[in-house]
Amino acid sequence: MNAAKATQEALIDLYARELRLPGLRKAYRELARDAAQSGQDHLAYLAACLTAEVESRRQSRLSRRLGMARFPALKTLESFDFTALPDLPKARVLQLADRSFVKAQENVVCLGPTGTGKTHTAIALGVAAIHAGWRVRFTTAVALGQELLQAHNEARLPKALKGWDRFDLVILDELGYLGLGPAGPLLFQFCAHRYERGSLLITTNLEFSRWVEVFGDATLTSALLDRLTHRSHVLLFNGESYRFRESQQRLRKEGVSH
């Protein structure tokens, strides 16, 4: 490399850092070689450099939002076995991922027995929403209930509720799996606070008629269901536990019978 070229690259590195253009800084050398070999003009090379920067920023933003979501694992609808749940409308689920229900501030309830893929579907819809540009946060009902209870005891509940407003979609997993005790009314307050502020996606093993077991008050539960189902999509997961099915398949492969 001659001295002039080395000086030019050093300046590009310096200015790219100062202007915070990491994608361009990483890609410009290779793009310059490609441009020289293919005879591209300066405008084409500049466009390629800016494209690299835009893509770098998009990937960084996506990575940040996936981390912010705090998913226990990343799931996609492509990896979901719809054949195991023939009553679950695949087209409707895919439509929810494609035409963002988050934009319309609609809610989704995934209802069914344990192990039928509700959490998988919820995470997959959350990942799709992040790819569409929305901010998502995943939590369990018990974890959120405890967080709200602590905030209430420390006299900062309004601030805690407002803090969740920065998320366009909140995924509330495992509602009804464990009792919430004194946190039940606070979780009701959270869900009511979300009404027309953002979307909720709830997974639960309880039919709506049993939600009073979670919130502890029939009047509160009725009011919540009225708001929640006003603009919602209810997905019914009726089928055998896929975890049980997978374990049985694994045992058969290993030659173990019961």
Please name the residue that has the structure tokens 């009314």: 185
Q: Is the pLDDT of residue 143 over 50?
A: yes
What local confidence, expressed as pLDDT, does residue 176 receive? 86
Of 200, 205, 203, 204, give the one whose Cα is nearest residue 229: 200
Q: Is the pLDDT of residue 257 over 50?
A: no
Kindly write down the DSSP assignment for every residue of 153-205, as one continuous string. HTT-HHHHHHHGGG-SEEEEEEETSS--GGGHHHHHHHHHHHTTTSEEEEEES
3-state secondary structure of 233: strand
Q: 221 and 215 in contact (C-beta within 8 Å)? A: yes
What is d(CA 200, CA 110) in angstroms, rounded to the nearest whole number? 11
What is d(CA 235, CA 121) in angstroms, rounded to the nearest whole number? 10
What is d(CA 37, CA 197) in angstroms, rounded to the nearest whole number? 53
Q: Is the pLDDT of residue 101 over 50?
A: yes
Element (DSSP H or E) covering residue 136: strand 136-140
**Confidence tier at 251 by pLDDT (50, 70, 90):** very low
3-state helix, strand, coil in the chain (%, to 5): 60, 10, 30
pTM above 0.85, yes or no: no
* Phi and psi torsions of 155, nearest 5°: 60, 40
Other beta carbons less than 10 A from residue 208's beta carbon: 16
Q: Is the pLDDT of residue 248 over 50?
A: no
Q: Which residues contact 37 (CB under 8 A, 6 or more apart)?
A: none
Residues pairing with 128 in the sheet: none
**Confidence tier at 240 by pLDDT (50, 70, 90):** low
What local confidence, expressed as pLDDT, does residue 249 receive? 54
**Domain edges within the chain:** 3-65, 77-244
Q: Is the pLDDT of residue 218 over 90?
A: no
What is d(CA 31, CA 52) in angstroms, rounded to the nearest whole number? 9
**CATH 3.40.50.300, domain 77-244, yes or no:** yes
Please name the residue that has the structure tokens 């967080």: 147
Query: How do residues 27-85 score in pLDDT, each as one tens digit?
Result: 989 998 889 899 888 898 999 999 999 998 889 999 999 999 999 999 999 999 998 89
What local confidence, expressed as pLDDT, does residue 182 receive? 87
What local confidence, expressed as pLDDT, does residue 241 receive? 55
Query: How do residues 160-198 score in pLDDT, each as one tens digit?
Result: 999 999 999 999 999 988 778 888 889 988 988 888 889
